[in-house]
Copies of this chain bind each other. A is one copy, B any other.
Amino acid sequence: LWLPSASVVRAMSSSTGPTAPFTTLAISHPAKSVTHVELHRPEKLNAMNSAFWSEMVECFNDLAADPDCRVVVVSGAGRLFTAGIDLMDMASDVLQPQGDDTARISWSLRRKIAKYQETFSVIEKCPKPVVVAVHGACIGGGVDLITACDIRLCTQDAWFQVKEVDIGLAADVGTLQRLPKVIGSRSLVNDLALTARRMYADEAKSSGLVSRVFPDKEAMITGAVEMAGEIAGRSPVAVQGTKINLIYSRDHSVAEGLDYMATWNMSMLQTDDVIKSAQASMEKKGPKTVTFSKL
């Protein structure tokens, strides 16, 4: 069984800065079939600037197509996860939109919002599971980002803030759509979105926003990579089919979800992975001992 040691974690991308062609993201491979995407503008608290919005799309489109990537871990370099949108960098784009009249300004704004929304929707459209690991602060756009991920982990010192009402707008790149489908308490969702108050790690855990809390960042990254390794060791046909159908189910009735699932699995069950896995299981070996073809 592969286990990431602390030294492996320390050797991860963080120290060396962004990975070309990206200027805001550092990419590394801490374990077999696991890709680590690190928000990497630590001197700017990983604030989301213009480059970030397009680099995320490029990055996740690449990962979606890369057969050597089976699971993605996302985290932030430096003191905290992300301070959210980089208002200075984005101001001209969002606050001074162009257009000859209100309708044309609106038209242009709608196109931009849709583009920003896509930045996080690519995480969801990428069929590989995405584990996000949050330390320090996760503010504004950061919440939009993590709610589009599949599994959320955090450190004991982490806090979360739906910040948008504080700057006069309704959050428009995913938080209002995904947060209520990610945690079970509607009262809490409304509280967070309307008061912009901070939620700390304990409440994040008890409300179900995160499924595990770690004492510090090193432990969390170790845990995230370990979990990613567990998933990456299983059949990619099974794992990615699971992600796709879980997301489908969120947006459809149970009956529709079942129908889609049956139509999906009528071919996917014909994979050799089932035979290989079943055989390993009967021999009391774990799925991670099996070598699966690339997908």
A residues with a Cβ closer than 8 A to B are 87, 91, 94-95, 97, 100-107, 109-110, 113-114, 117, 121, 124, 129, 150-152, 164-172, 174, 176-178, 180-191, 193-197, 206-212, 227, 230-231, 234-235, 237-239, 241-243, 245-246, 249-255, 257-278, 281-282, 286-287, 292-295
Contact = CB atoms under 8 A, between A and B. Distances in A.
Given A234-B196, A250-B254, A267 B208 contact: no
Contact of A178 (B191, B242, B254, B262): B254
A246 to B, nearest CB: 5
The quantity of this chain's copies bound in the complex is 6
Main secondary structure of the interface of A (DSSP, over half): helix
A190 B246 contact: yes
Contact of A182 (B186, B238, B262, B282): B186
Given A185-B183, A242-B194, A254-B250, A287 B165 contact: yes
Contacts of A212: 191
Contacts of A211: 185, 187-188, 191
Nearest to A165: B238
Nearest to A278: B167
A107 B294 CA distance: 11
